[in-house]
Chain A
Amino acid sequence: MDVITRRRFLIASGVVAGGAAAAGATLGLREILATAGDGDPAAKTLVLVTLYGGNDGLNTVIPYGDPALAAARPDFAYAENELLDLGQGEALNPGMTGLHKLFGEGRLAVVRGVGYPKPNRSHFQSMDIWQTAQPDRPGTTGWLGRWLDTAGGDPRSAISFEPVLPPLLAGASSAGATVPGGELKLPAGVTPDLLNALGAADEGESPARARAAACFSDLARVRDLVSAPLSSDDDDSDAPATATGGAAPPLDQQLALVARCIEANVATRVYSVSLGGFDLHADGKDAQKALLTKLDKALAAFAERVAGKNVVTAVYSEFGRRVKANASDGTDHGTASNVFLLGDGVQGGLHGEPPNLTDLDEGDLKFTTDFRDVYATLLRDVLAADPEQILDGWSTHLDKVLTG
């Protein structure tokens, strides 16, 4: 089919309107989705939300019923009437009203105590482990990159809205595409033919140079996936700043782009979005609540918008925080934490064993669910892939969390 005939002109959302004003655009707030209508209507979509910096799980899903928590963190406690109860002595952080509502409707699954053996407390190592799904020896490919390799390698299948490729989308023979701000409009005189010519493989090149070339042909394929200017407002200096954050557009804008792609039924199966700033070694309580509120608003709005469209969203961070607070009213690097799953087919409720707050490993929680069980579930039930092939032979998955 001719590319032109497949194009759809869609009215842009308010998010784009604000961004376009900032970017000085004049009229015609429209986007072009060239693969619109190409998606398999039965296929499900996975949206992976990475929280950079190590989100404090114990202050996200709060085991307020356990006296050990108040003993370890006297200054972190919320009043009981602020807490958003989930039952079983657990509650959501007061900033997360939207997700609390989804939980009440049976649409949010909280998997507790997710981690991996021999926890690594370095942000970078632990994030590598989560993104490669290789705790023993993180390699150079991400778990969704390896899925992409097995699913044909089309860069349009896996998209990130960040300027730099997250390792999780790097495969051995292919890579996901980055579409920051959703805009990939070609400059004057640059044609798809030119991109394909510069993207041709040339014998004897180093792997890096071959990848640089392949980016040109990837660009030729991806460029029209979505094209609309987003806010270039990067003045985020007043956002809670910490030393471990992603440099990405705001999460609500990333998710709005995902929603528009999904609404247009594009061929993409996996979206990677992120929110940074969770490394709160000091004065953590208020700053984390503000971040969780941001996360909650964006996720809840997204969940409403794509309900019924076969979308599953998963939210994780590289580790939780130490059970005991430090003197700066912050928390240091910890281990196991919660993973949130929401969307169509998700069986809401509390899943997995809550970690014991007093039986600790060097002051940190012991994990009760291996994160590869979560990935295997997503690969199997959302992407209809073979988890064992992608997860180095990992053969178990979560029960009763997702219906296939």
Chain B
Amino acid sequence: MTDRAQVSHLLRRLTFGPTAAEVDAAVRDGFDATLERLLRPVAVPQAPPMGEEPAAGATREERLEARKKQREQVVALGRWWLGRMAAGSAAEKLTFFWHGHWATSAQKVRSAHLMFAQQQTFRRYGTGDTSPLVRAMLRDPALILWLDGQKNTRKAPNENLAREVMELFTLGVGAYGESDVKAGARVLTGWQVDRTTGQARLVARRHDTGRVTLLGQTGVFDLDAYADLLVRHEAHVPFLAGRLWARYAGSFTVPGSVAAAGRNTTALLRAVCRAPEFAETAGTLVKQPVEWLVGAVRQLGIAPTGLDGTLRALGQVPLRPPSVGGWPEGAAWLTTSSTLTRLRAGQKLAAQSQEAPADPEALANLLVVDGWSDRTYAVLKEVRKPRELVALGLASPEYAVH
């Protein structure tokens, strides 16, 4: 791999699609300095102007009106977020990773303010030790509403949150048993969201203070003690290493060197990118639709607006993951319909492009594709109009899988 290909690969994976100028700069700085620059912490942004959370309303009409207002606020938050992604920082891609990991949907949470608060938790705690992150997420109002923590009481616990916390967020299947799910649910009983203040608090009369046996330890645990059991569990770091590797590198087995980096997300990400196997994953990872679209917007120099319809058609709308398992990865995104949508959206994006590549080589440079296959090159070399070139480049297999 050439130096340019190496830093291109790094930038493609750690950010939402680099521009040619960013690759040029990274070639000058070198791989190590570029990696450290990308991993540097960034300031947590102010809330976007969304307006106040609407009051719930007393009548049916008022409630419908409030719902409508909430939906508009979620749409506004989603658009603001796409703008942040298009600004290009690695930090925002990590926020998106955590959103897909602790996948929570506005469809049930409804409040844009609570969705934003969860995002801020990812920005604040998503780069360091996972302990504060897990502690914050167990009391995250959006997550509690999403997974029925609201309904989880001493009299008969609701297992939803406790199960998904272990299965999907911290340990992975096989690291815990059904009895741990039941015990975990008891520990989390009584944590409720106050819809007026938007805060979660422990309601003592609903909380189970009994002894439980949880992940091999018996005692009385509070929420933070449960979080500590999770992040100290031997399965936690390998599980998280595997998730980061799958989204940032490739689907095959995660190298042992990644988990050896320990419980700090930035250290884990650094280990992903420094693993000798990282370079071999070039050309194997299917872009998620958001990655594909935001990258295109950045590289063509166009405004990140009017993207909602394309994201819907491709099956990935930020703030609305299809389930608590998050969005699929890999070949599930490669369908006849997504291919067609990329062809269509490619034309729309190309029509707004500020860039006009003259030939396949210039197109590869613009889209930061290492090279075209003989197949795709044969098609592209016959195309004369820059816009058609851009549209086909965006739809191509080489741009869909990076």
Contact surface of A with B, Cβ cutoff 8 Å: 52-53, 120-125, 155, 162-165, 167, 170, 175, 177-180, 184, 186-190, 194, 197-198, 200-202, 205-213, 215-216, 218-219, 222-223, 232, 234-238, 241-247, 276, 279, 281-283, 324-328, 330, 332-333, 362
Q: Is the CB of A281 within 8 A of B153?
A: no
B178 within 8 A of A: yes
B339 within 8 A of A: yes
B273 within 8 A of A: no
Cβ of A202: which chain B residues have Cβ within 8 Å of it?
Answer: 373-376
Cβ of B148: which chain A residues have Cβ within 8 Å of it?
Answer: 281-282, 328, 330
Most chain A beta-carbon neighbours within 10 Å: one of B158, B335, B343: B335
**Among A163, A170, A241, A362, which residue has its beta carbon within 8 angstroms of that of B315?**
A163
Cβ of B336: which chain A residues have Cβ within 8 Å of it?
Answer: 155, 177-179, 184, 215, 218-219, 222-223
Cβ of B309: which chain A residues have Cβ within 8 Å of it?
Answer: 232
Q: CA of A324 to CA of B347 in the docked complex: distance in angstroms?
A: 55
Q: Is the CB of A215 within 8 A of B335?
A: yes
Cβ of B379: which chain A residues have Cβ within 8 Å of it?
Answer: 194, 197-198
Ordered nearest first, which 4 A-B pairs have the shortest CB separation? A328-B151, A327-B156, A212-B397, A163-B315
Q: CA of A213 to CA of B395 in the docked complex: distance in angstroms?
A: 10
Q: Is the CB of A234 within 8 A of B160?
A: no
Q: A208-B284, A213-B375, A245-B322 are in contact. Are A327 and B155 (CB under 8 A)?
A: yes
Cβ of A121: which chain B residues have Cβ within 8 Å of it?
Answer: 163, 178, 181
A-contacting residues, B145-202, CB 8 Å: 146-148, 150-153, 155-160, 163-164, 167-168, 173, 178, 181
Q: Is the CB of B283 within 8 A of A219?
A: no
Q: Is the CB of A198 within 8 A of B375?
A: yes
Q: CA of A177 to CA of B336 in the docked complex: distance in angstroms?
A: 6
Q: Which of B42-50, B88-96, B225-233, B326-334 contacts A (4 or more CB under 8 A)?
A: B326-334
Cβ of A326: which chain B residues have Cβ within 8 Å of it?
Answer: 151, 156-159
Q: CA of A209 to CA of B396 in the docked complex: distance in angstroms?
A: 10
Cβ of A218: which chain B residues have Cβ within 8 Å of it?
Answer: 336, 339
Q: CA of A262 to CA of B335 in the docked complex: distance in angstroms?
A: 22
Of all chain A residues, the one with the shortest Cβ separation from B147 is A243
Q: CA of A125 to CA of B322 in the docked complex: distance in angstroms?
A: 16
Cβ of A328: which chain B residues have Cβ within 8 Å of it?
Answer: 148, 151-153, 156, 158
Contact surface of B with A, Cβ cutoff 8 Å: 67, 71, 105, 107-108, 110, 146-148, 150-153, 155-160, 163-164, 167-168, 173, 178, 181, 283-286, 309, 312-315, 320, 322-325, 328, 330-340, 343-344, 347, 373-376, 378-379, 388, 392, 395-398, 400-401
What's the nearest-Cβ distance from chain A to residue B338, in Å?
7
Q: CA of A122 to CA of B324 in the docked complex: distance in angstroms?
A: 11
Q: CA of A333 to CA of B185 in the docked complex: distance in angstroms?
A: 13
Further contacts, 11 of them, CB under 8 A, given A163-B313, A184-B340, A186-B343 = A124-B325, A179-B337, A180-B313, A189-B347, A189-B388, A194-B379, A243-B324, A245-B323, A324-B156, A327-B156, A327-B158
Interface of A is mostly: loop
Q: A187-B344, A281-B160 are in contact. Are A125 and B331 (CB under 8 A)?
A: no
Of all chain B residues, the one with the shortest Cβ separation from A170 is B331
What's the nearest-Cβ distance from chain A to residue B396, in Å?
7
Cβ of A222: which chain B residues have Cβ within 8 Å of it?
Answer: 336
Q: Is the CB of A165 within 8 A of B286?
A: no
Q: Is the CB of A247 within 8 A of B340?
A: no
Of all chain A residues, the one with the shortest Cβ separation from B164 is A243
Q: CA of A155 to CA of B67 in the docked complex: distance in angstroms?
A: 41
Q: CA of A77 to CA of B127 in the docked complex: distance in angstroms?
A: 49
Q: Is the CB of A187 within 8 A of B343?
A: yes
Cβ of B313: which chain A residues have Cβ within 8 Å of it?
Answer: 163, 180
Most chain B beta-carbon neighbours within 10 Å: one of A179, A207, A235, A281: A281
Cβ of A213: which chain B residues have Cβ within 8 Å of it?
Answer: 373, 375, 397
Can you list 23 A-B contacts (CB < 8 A)?
A: A122-B167, A123-B324, A123-B325, A124-B325, A164-B322, A164-B332, A165-B334, A189-B388, A194-B379, A198-B397, A208-B286, A210-B397, A212-B334, A213-B373, A218-B339, A223-B336, A232-B309, A241-B108, A243-B105, A281-B158, A327-B151, A327-B157, A330-B148
Q: CA of A223 to CA of B343 in the docked complex: distance in angstroms?
A: 13
Q: CA of A279 to CA of B284 in the docked complex: distance in angstroms?
A: 34
Of all chain A residues, the one with the shortest Cβ separation from B324 is A243
Q: CA of A163 to CA of B159 in the docked complex: distance in angstroms?
A: 31
Q: A208-B330, A281-B159, A362-B178 are in contact. Are A177 and B286 (CB under 8 A)?
A: no
